Amino acid sequence: MILHPGILALIGGSAFLLLMTFFAVLHGVTIVRKWDFASSSAEQISLERKTYLISTIMNYVLGFQIAAAFLFVFTLDDIHRLFVGAMCATGSLNANPVGWYALCLKIVLFFLSGIWIALNHIDGKAEDYPLVRPKYVLLILLFPLFCLDLYLLVRYFLGLDPVVITSCCGSLFGDSGDRVASTMASLPVLPTMATFYGGILLYFVVAGLCLYSGRGILRYALSGVSVGLLFVSIASVISFISVYFYELPTHHCPFDILQAGYHFVGYPLYVGMFGGTFFGILPGCFQGLKKIGTLQEAICNLERTYVRLSMGFMILFVLVSSYPVVTGEFTLFG
């Protein structure tokens, strides 16, 4: 099983990522301690060359970390056929519960890696590179998470045993269970649907205001609404959106929609959900950096791009998730 292409790519890529990050952290500690842009010493010139090289490398490395989140889910779905009782990625995860921790960490690293790339991009817009220290401090803090990520991946994949009979989505996302997943599956449809579409409406109102107003409170509000909407969206996918795709009132699995039988519709759905959330939180994350004079204009220009991208991804998510609700013959009402 360890020879599966997806598993090899994930473990090999994560090991290479960790090696490159270790190299970056070694130099990053020196950069954090000795960086002085006002100095014209040979040491400072050397640090400037190193930071340019490291930043370029880390852009690609962290870009892989973002892609790895989707590759991990794809691999989980692809290997489910190797386990007795598994019908989707849920069965693969239940075959070794460590996989659930790995999945949660992948989601966290998806956002943190993207934020570092965006921070590095903003830093390059200023001639004095005012964010060199903060971005390398963040990189140093990310390193233990990358170590944990590789550890969880190796422990998960090595701990898989095809002989073990695993449970799948029917037991985990059933209405009668006492777990969080079961609680979300048993949420009343009408209030959940109202909360979901109400949250979508609130999001677009705040995002639209951000495009036409420069008030900082709106940027923070957009970030907060985006994060809140992510949790509401996940609950909604389990509660009713997935059910409309399956046309089975008892089937609440959020992973089956990734399969060919449902035209891989889960991929654009989740890309829209997580892409919209990510770009939605960036304006609030970087609002405080506007106090730095050399970055103010660049951030003001970039945040409009972030908002537009967030709205574009969120429109994709809403269209995909609402299509079966609006056009299908199946209904959860009456």
Domain ends where: 149, 167, 185? 167
User: Average pLDDT, stretch 239-249?
Assistant: 92
The span from the CA of 107 to the CA of 189, in Å, is 26
User: Average pLDDT, stretch 251-260?
Assistant: 91
Band of pLDDT at residue 184, cut at 50, 70 and 90: confident
The span from the CA of 131 to the CA of 118, in Å, is 11
Band of pLDDT at residue 319, cut at 50, 70 and 90: very high
Residue 205 sits in the same domain as residue 145 = no
Q: Residue 180 belongs to what domain range?
A: 173-334
The pLDDT of residue 334 is 63
Band of pLDDT at residue 85, cut at 50, 70 and 90: confident
Percent of the chain with pLDDT over 90: 65
Mean pLDDT, the chain, integer: 91
pLDDT surpasses 70 at 178: no
Percent of the chain with pLDDT over 70: 97
Band of pLDDT at residue 278, cut at 50, 70 and 90: very high
The pLDDT of residue 48 is 83
- Reported as type and span, the H/E element at residue 301 is helix 293-327
Residue 251 sits in the same domain as residue 318 = yes
Q: What tokens appear for 216 in the block?
A: 């900082």
User: Average pLDDT, stretch 68-87?
Assistant: 90
Number of domains the chain is built from: 2
Domain ends where: 99, 134, 167? 167
The pLDDT of residue 107 is 97
Residue 157 sits in the same domain as residue 246 = no
Residues 314, 316, 319, 321, CA torsion sign? negative
Q: What tokens appear for 308 in the block?
A: 């537009």
pLDDT surpasses 80 at 169: no
Got the DSSP string for 244-272? HHHT-TT---SSGGGSGGGTTTHHHHHHH
DSSP state of 139: H
Residue 177 sits in the same domain as residue 255 = yes
61 within 8 A of 112, measured Cβ to Cβ? no
Task: Of 314, 307, 305, give the one whose Cα is nearest residue 199.
Answer: 314
